[in-house]
Amino acid sequence: MAEQLSSPATVLAEKARTIGDRVFVLFEDQRITYAQMNEQANRIANGLSELGVKPGDGVALMMPNRPEWLYVFFTIQKLGAYVVPVNIALKGEGLAYILNHSEAKVLFVAAELLESLGAIREKLTGLRRVIIADAAEAATGVAPPAAEATTFARLMNAPATELSSAIDPNAIACLLYTSGTTGLPKGVVMRYRAMAQFGLFSAGYQEGDIMYTCLPLFHGNALFLTVLRGLAGGFTVALSRRFSASRFWDEIRHYGATTFNALGAMIPILLKQPSRPDDADNPVRIVFSAATPAWAWEQFEKRFNLTIVEGYGAVDGGGFSLFNPGIAPKGSMGKPPPGVEAKVVDDQGIEMPVGEAGNLVFKIDNPAARRVEYFKNPEASEAKIRDGWFFTGDLAYKDADGNFYFADRKTDSMRRRGENISSYEVEKIVNQHPAVLESAAFGVPSELGEDDVMIAVVLKPGQPASPEEIVRFCEERMAKFMVPRYIDFREGLPKTETHRVQKAALKKDGITSTAWDREKPAPRKDARPLPTP
């Protein structure tokens, strides 16, 4: 089904030639065929080439989900340059760091994000051209002093002829920056020879599938696992602006989507939405998910009349993966594919007993292919590999049959009175409380040393709860040392654009004035839930 060609742009050109009339992207009321996507990318590529953009140049892309994002992405691939997808929520020093560190010479930016750029214009040292990705005239005073501002519309006047230059398979195709939760963000290097690999996975897909994504295109899941897989298989991709639990299934029905990828808390949050008579009446056949809690798995499948397939992988994970197509227990990530060896070890590399969490590692079978490369950071690149094993940075455990289970990000784990605690396991239990919409567990310093467990809780609309209720619920379902000491009811959790909770922000807040302390209880009213919409 998939084709392994030299670049995504090469695949697009081939699809435009063979199935050009087929719809590639659905976006609101727009229907964009493979031929139209290729034509638009050619116009922008010729326009950029006239402006001096050449192979090996860095081009940053800072736009919310819209077809223009994809036009520019394929444009950059056609030129043999490298794309730097930028998180649209970034501002200030964080935004300046990525634009400077990536050595981007050109930036495509949405007009509504110009304010973020203007605030740091004096700090941007490498940008030579800023292109405003809207029809409006270029805003003055926004481009850095050494850069020239122009508009997206002007590039579209260039001819639609196909560029004939060959692409170096060893050149950098993409720099995808990590969230920087443990320090400065790291730019994961994706080379052209590896980009087509993301389209090779076809298990579970069928002819005529419509692949829906509401995740941001600057994240690897939407770009690689939806768009590039859709491209390789000749599928249609339905693109949403953002994740909305209340509008999710209406969008699915509008587009006729048959499959989607889910990240983080999406499955539990969708499951917590009020039931509707037409819940099971939707076109989705299969969901590819990551870290779906066992308690939510079967409920979700039954309520929405679909099948969940669980997988594990990471952009900076060396290409290693685990896969549960339904033959392993629900809640399990499954086993490695044939020829791949994985295990769970402690920090000294000693394998952990069955059921005990440790570092998830993979045996390096091909050092050249498996090496993770961080841009201008060889120390971080080498730190991922020890004694021939790739350390993922995640914690997991195995059952007696060899199935792997996700335990936590290593940076999110806690230690209380000599016991290691998984924030993921605490959250998984708290989220089962009927009044809880979502939660985030994290460690705060204890006066006895190590950590105390704190949990931020968001309640469902119209459903109150007290901290005592939450504690009793936990005491019945988890080990005593795991039960949170502090409970803080909040209206929402700080999140990245990919719906990952920003634990660093919660840890920075620490023990807030509104937090309830189980060891120093004081009279208080039940927490107020979110207002009913």
pLDDT tens digits in sequence order for the chain, 533 residues long:
334 456 899 999 999 999 999 999 999 999 999 999 999 999 999 999 999 999 999 999 999 999 999 999 999 999 999 999 998 988 888 899 999 999 999 999 999 999 888 889 999 999 999 999 875 566 667 788 888 888 888 898 899 999 877 888 889 999 999 865 556 788 999 999 887 666 666 678 999 999 999 999 998 889 999 999 999 999 999 999 999 999 999 999 999 999 999 986 789 889 989 999 999 999 999 999 988 888 889 999 999 999 999 988 876 766 788 989 888 999 899 999 888 899 999 989 999 999 998 999 999 877 666 668 889 998 888 888 888 898 888 889 999 999 999 887 777 778 787 677 888 889 989 999 999 999 999 999 887 777 899 999 999 988 999 999 999 999 998 878 889 999 999 999 988 776 778 888 898 899 999 999 998 865 554 555 555 44
Q: 374: which DSSP letter?
A: B
For the residues of 15-64, what is the DSSP string, one character each?
HHHHHTTSEEEEETTEEEEHHHHHHHHHHHHHHHHHTT--TT-EEEEE--
Looking at the structure, give the CATH architecture of the domain made up of residues 198-370+385-409: 3-Layer(aba) Sandwich (3.40)
- Looking at residue 141, its pLDDT comes to 73
CA-based torsion, 284, 285, 287, 292: positive or negative: positive
- Looking at residue 139, its pLDDT comes to 67
- Looking at residue 297, its pLDDT comes to 92
- Looking at residue 164, its pLDDT comes to 76
CATH superfamily of 413-517: ANL, C-terminal domain (3.30.300.30)
| Distance of alpha carbon 459 from alpha carbon 438, whole angstroms | 7
* Region for 273 from its dihedrals, namely left if φ exceeds 0, alpha if ψ lies in -120 to 50, beta otherwise: beta
| Distance of alpha carbon 36 from alpha carbon 23, whole angstroms | 9
- Looking at residue 249, its pLDDT comes to 97
Hey, what long-range contacts does 148-153 have (CB within 8 A, 24 or more apart)? 150/51, 152/44, 152/68, 152/108
Where along the chain do its domains lie? Answer: 8-19+31-194, 198-370+385-409, 413-517
Instruction: Report the first-to-last Cα separation within the chain, whole angstroms.
Output: 44
Element (H, E) at 95: helix 92-101
Asked whether 250 and 284 are in contact (CB, 8 A), the reply is: no
Class of domain 8-19+31-194: alpha beta
- Looking at residue 522, its pLDDT comes to 58
Q: CATH topology of 8-19+31-194 equal to that of 413-517?
A: no
Residue 430: phi and psi, rounded to 5, are -60, -40
CA-based torsion, 249, 252, 255, 258: positive or negative: negative
- Looking at residue 424, its pLDDT comes to 84
